[in-house]
Amino acid sequence: MPAPSRDELRRLHFINALFAEVTGHDLYLAQQIREAIAFSLAELTAQTAAHPEFAAKFDAEFNAAAAHLLAKHFAHFPRRGFFHWDAALTPTAATPLFARAELMAGLKKLAPYRESTLLVTNLRPALIPPHRRATPRRQRDYEEALAFVRDLTAARTARSADLQLLFL
């Protein structure tokens, strides 16, 4: 059996961390979830094998499928909140003004829950597009956006709440 590629290992550890409550950090169970998500994207997997330049699209679709599955998982827990913010949803979504509005809406939704998860996806690709150079300014904007999300989340979450902030 060939060794898994670097991207497959990255996705496996991503799934293992994201679904830790389900897998109990068991890589075999995480592998099953990863394969199920990859199976649901079989057509895109075949296209990526034929055209390696589709890898970024496959990663985005894989992350979206994993976020959707995680949202379905948390829907079964009425006492646990979940909110997903996709920073690449619109061209301006990752700018501070629009990011603040989206995050505040999510934090208001999570406020009634003692335990919750805030999933932020595609923040890096929104600010540092994969097909463009990672200039010092883009890198600085990304670091500032990470700090902004962390600070806003910390400031607008009750001290008694257990909020997990995940960046993908």
Distance CA 3, CA 1 (A): 7
Containing domain of residue 41, as a range? 1-76
- Bigger pLDDT: 104 or 12? 104
Per the CB < 8 A criterion, the answer to whether 151 and 104 are in contact is no
Same domain, 89 and 118: yes
Same domain, 84 and 144: yes
Same domain, 69 and 91: no
Same domain, 106 and 59: no
Domain boundary among 76, 110, 134: 76
Q: What is the pLDDT of residues 118-148, one digit of tens each?
A: 989 888 888 888 788 889 999 999 999 999 9
Is the CA virtual torsion 135, 138, 141, 142 positive or negative?
A: negative
Residue 100, CA distances (Å) to 55, 95, 106 in order: 30, 8, 10
Same domain, 66 and 83: no
Same domain, 92 and 147: yes
Domain boundary among 15, 44, 76: 76
Name the least confident of 11-15, 114-118, 134-138, 159-163.
11-15
Domain boundary among 19, 51, 76: 76
Q: What's the pLDDT at 34?
A: 87
Q: What's the pLDDT at 1?
A: 58
* Residue whose structure tokens are 């989206």: 102
Same domain, 82 and 68: no
Q: How many domains is the chain partitioned into structurally?
A: 2
Here the tokens at position 34 are 């990863």
Same domain, 97 and 153: yes
| Percentage, residues of the chain above pLDDT 70 | 95
Mean pLDDT of all residues in 103-116: 93
